Structure 1
Amino acid sequence: MEEGSWRRLALLLAAYCSCFLLIHLPVYGEVTFIDIGQGDSILIRTPFNRRTVLIDTGGKVTFNQPRWAQMTSRSDLAQRVTVNYLKSCGIHRLDTIYLSHHDADHIGYLPTLLTEMRVDRVVVPAGMEKQAAFVRRLQASRFRGRVLPVTDQVRCDPDLRIVHPFIPGQAQNEDSLVLSGTFGGQRFLFTGDLDRPNELAILARYPQLRADILKLGHHGSKTASDPRFLRQLQVKWGIVSAGRFNRYHHPSDEVVAQLRAAGIRMLSTQQYGMIKYRYSGHHGQWQTTLKGDEIRWTLPNSLNN
């Protein structure tokens, strides 16, 4: 082979190796709120893919529908969105999937993630590990990893702290697993569907807890986001994960007005699609897949004001 050909081959190999390293060992980390429709699914990835964690999987809530509607609504957003995104980031393994509680819009796509990705363990609020519906989801995916039931007395991740639940429960909204962590110099709090009384219970138990970025409880419903909770946490950004045209009218107009009055900026997956906080060291920036005005006609009136 001529010298020029060797040089071209070496350049191609160097370019390939560079691309491989950029994808599989990125120097930045991210906290990404996946646009999973009416549900929650959040990816936390630390620099160089040292740790990859998913909080909730999203899932389709089904109601009584005519047969024709059932035949046309079998798409799996976790497959089309979450799995494809993870693999595009060079992620084929998740250290942990945290499940905040048992509602289908938070755990419905669990079998898809367990089937498509290697998952070391699943962490649930204590009490949920015994529930028949949850056990069936695990069996459907033939999961062989560890299931870890937790309360706030358990520390199972160097990057995330469990601040709720305090005792075993029934994995309902009021039992939601709540996680706190700092990434890129910003303090995050992920609240599942936790209700207002238990938000205040967290403040009483952890009076020094602060959050720059709050994943608003229950998709922005007025059952969550107590003004005292927002004030004491000193929230700067509120993230809403909710579906367009959702039948629950999330986020609540009351909560949106409350955030505006408190000077808290809000980002919603309805308006911006996938919402990513990409960081390196103690600094980061927001990135979204939409500008926010491409699908304005699909948004609640409160988001258009």
Structure 2
Amino acid sequence: MQDKFNKKTILIDTGGRLALPQESWQKPQSQTNAEKTLIPYLESVGVSQIDQLILTHTDADHVGDFLNLADKIKIKEIWVSPGELTNNHFVEKLKKANIAIHISKVGDKIPIFDSALQVLSNGYTGKGDNNDSIVTYGNFYHTKFLFTGDLEQEGEKELLKNYPKLKVDVLKVGHHGSKTSSNPDFIKEINPKLALISVGEKNRYGHPNQETLETLKKNQIRILRTDQKGALKLMQINQQWRIQTVR
């Protein structure tokens, strides 16, 4: 999230590569995902500093590249959940980064876009896992955004229990469109108009799951997927949201 006139930049997760078994003949990739895509993009739009980096949970595909990012772009503050600090490997990375840490609390707000990004959940399990994802929400220019990390169906139930009147216009779909997320009752209740699915092309997990896609279609929600469209960028132009895709 890059505010007008580059006043503030918030980044939710950095991406990264899951450590999967490799055959002896397979060469490890030399460049991280952040070096190939995230860092060049941020530099291209004039981001020289990230004010708040929210690391939603400890999975490598969400936070694995944050040290690479910190080497190239200044980060003022990292937001984590209490549960993430139970992961010793993750804590060692935080220490190595030597960046100010904010342990997120429900109700925390970061001012941006003449409004604020608010923490709705700082985790439900205390383990730094999927259902411990930091969940954030913002009403920006009359459009309500919900960012769920890898929140699964149990976490979605807890979220609705705490926010029974939660309504959403743009949903970052939980857990890459996995069938473990996007419970039909949850989707029906929050009633988004647009669903964004962050997912790798031809990924080995088969994300997004067909059941999840059917749930979204049944509720007449427009779906945009990064495996089909590439990078998705929402821009506020002349009091309207425009969507730009880049492959």
Please say if 1:182 is aligned against 2:139.
yes
SS in 1 for 2:15: coil
Q: Indicate conservation of the 8 Å contact 1:219/1:250, yes or no.
A: yes
Please say if 1:233 is aligned against 2:180.
no
SS in 2 for 1:63: coil
Q: C-alpha displacement at 1:130, in angstroms?
A: 4.2
CA distance in 2, matches of 1:80, 1:234: 35
CA distance in 1, matches of 2:43, 2:83: 32
Q: Indicate conservation of the 8 Å contact 2:81/2:123, yes or no.
A: no
Residue aligning to 1:26: none
Task: State how 1:208-227 maps to structure 2 within 5 Å.
Answer: 208-227=165-184
CA distance in 2, matches of 1:228, 1:289: 32
Q: C-alpha displacement at 1:195, in angstroms?
A: 1.0
Q: Which amino acid aligns with 1:108?
A: G
Structure 1 residue corresponding to 2:231, chosen from 256, 274, 280: 274
Q: TM-score, normalised by structure 2?
A: 0.93
Q: Indicate conservation of the 8 Å contact 2:144/2:168, yes or no.
A: yes
Q: Indicate conservation of the 8 Å contact 1:47/1:280, yes or no.
A: no
User: Could you give the per-residue CA deviations for residues 64-96 of structure 1, whole angstroms, max 9, x where no partner exists?
Assistant: 212331x24222120121111111111110001
Q: C-alpha displacement at 1:166, in angstroms?
A: 5.6
Residue aligning to 2:120: 163
Residue aligning to 1:34: none
Q: Indicate conservation of the 8 Å contact 2:10/2:50, yes or no.
A: yes
Please say if 1:201 is aligned against 2:158.
yes
Q: C-alpha displacement at 1:287, in angstroms?
A: 0.8
Structure 1 residue corresponding to 2:105, chosen from 141, 145, 151: 151
CA distance in 2, matches of 1:270, 1:218: 14
RCO greater where, 1 or 2, for CA within 8 Å and sep 6 or more? 1
Residue aligning to 2:65: 109
Judging changes above 3 Å, is the alpha-carbon distance between structure 1 residues 167 and 248 closer, same or farther for their aligned structure 2 residues? Answer: closer
Q: C-alpha displacement at 1:208, in angstroms?
A: 2.3
Q: C-alpha displacement at 1:251, in angstroms?
A: 0.1
Please say if 1:245 is aligned against 2:245.
no
Residue aligning to 2:84: 128
**Larger fraction in helix:** 1
Judging changes above 3 Å, is the alpha-carbon distance between structure 1 residues 166 and 250 closer, same or farther for their aligned structure 2 residues? Answer: closer
Judging changes above 3 Å, is the alpha-carbon distance between structure 1 residues 169 and 59 closer, same or farther for their aligned structure 2 residues? Answer: same
Task: State how 1:292-303 maps to structure 2 within 5 Å.
Answer: none
SS in 1 for 2:243: strand
SS in 2 for 1:258: helix
Q: C-alpha displacement at 1:265, in angstroms?
A: 0.7
SS in 2 for 1:134: helix
Q: Which has the larger radius of gyration?
A: 1
Question: Any unmatched runs of 5+ in structure 2?
Answer: none
Judging changes above 3 Å, is the alpha-carbon distance between structure 1 residues 281 and 125 closer, same or farther for their aligned structure 2 residues? Answer: farther
Residue aligning to 1:137: 93
Residue aligning to 1:78: 34
Q: Indicate conservation of the 8 Å contact 2:78/2:102, yes or no.
A: yes
SS in 1 for 2:97: coil
CA distance in 2, matches of 1:215, 1:281: 24
Percent identity, aligned pairs only?
34
CA distance in 2, matches of 1:255, 1:166: 23
Q: C-alpha displacement at 1:185, in angstroms?
A: 2.8
Q: Indicate conservation of the 8 Å contact 1:152/1:165, yes or no.
A: yes
CA distance in 1, matches of 2:238, 2:84: 36
Q: TM-score, normalised by structure 1?
A: 0.76
